[in-house]
Chain A
Amino acid sequence: GAGVSQTPSNKVTEKGKYVELRCDPISGHTALYWYRQSLGQGPEFLIYFQGTGAADDSGLPNDRFFAVRPEGSVSTLKIQRTERGDSAVYLCASSLTHRGTTEAFFGQGTRLTVV
């Protein structure tokens, strides 16, 4: 597709459930990023993939959060035992390379609500 695609656009889940959020980056982009945006805040970095490997997962808040990118394209962010504090918009971005001078393109995000 022309841009970064994220599905679903909205997800409501019950506390304690497991959720998966999907990101389909721009074709050919090797770097993929996940960010989380809470209400009234800017996006916060979670994890970055270069190809298939997680090159930096220092932003993941705890071990309930995990992400994969098995074939170097689509990525899935997985959240186990969801908590109300996980409610936020989860943003995915991709860029041609991981260099700091390369523009990152963002998807529209998945709004996760944990009730």
Chain B
Amino acid sequence: EAQVTQNPRYLITVTGKKLTVTCSQNMNHEYMSWYRQDPGLGLRQIYYSMNVEVTDKGDVPEGYKVSRKEKRNFPLILESPSPNQTSLYFCASSPGPLRETQYFGPGTRLLVL
């Protein structure tokens, strides 16, 4: 089944403790992206990647890192999480130009204490 998977789905952590949220897609998509969703602010793009080893900042990249070493994986790294990073996170992938409808993962709900 074609899908985007995220792990973990739920995470409670403490300020400053490094964490990684994994994202994997099995559709051989070139483009992948991370979003966060907060009440009243909608979906905001954090980082995106157009292909392996090619990443760029979205609207709200501060406090996040990403890497794209393999086409299928696009992990989101919070080196030193803070309470303002408490949010619902979505990973998405897309085939690429002209067929670039995005397919979203199920979401990761993060609480930073």
State yes or no: do A and B come from one complex. Answer: no
Residues of B at the A interface (CB closer than 8 Å) are none
A interface residues, Cβ below 8 angstroms from B: none
